[in-house]
Amino acid sequence: MGKAFFTYEQQLYKLQSEKELTISDPSYALKTLEKLSYYSLIGGYKDLFKHPASKKYLRGVTFPHPQHRVLP
């Protein structure tokens, strides 16, 4: 059974609600999701968002961080 399809808006909501990321620029975040995909972002970078000991997502992580922009 494959993974469920989520629109980019639904993916953004999941980042906010499930991963508790603060979305500082929703428009840019949507464009980034279109380029990278949700699973590439979370799968590839999830360790940066997690506390090493508890493995829980850190509170207050901002996406996208102003200094970490994806080039066009």
pLDDT digit string, tens, across residues 41-51? 777 666 777 78
pLDDT in tens, 8-28: 999 999 888 888 788 888 898
Question: Could you give the CA distance from residue 45 to residue 27 in angstroms, rounded to a whole number?
Answer: 20
Q: What's the predicted TM-score (pTM) here?
A: 0.66
In terms of Cβ atoms closer than 10 Å to its own Cβ (0-12, 13-18, 19+), residue 29 is buried
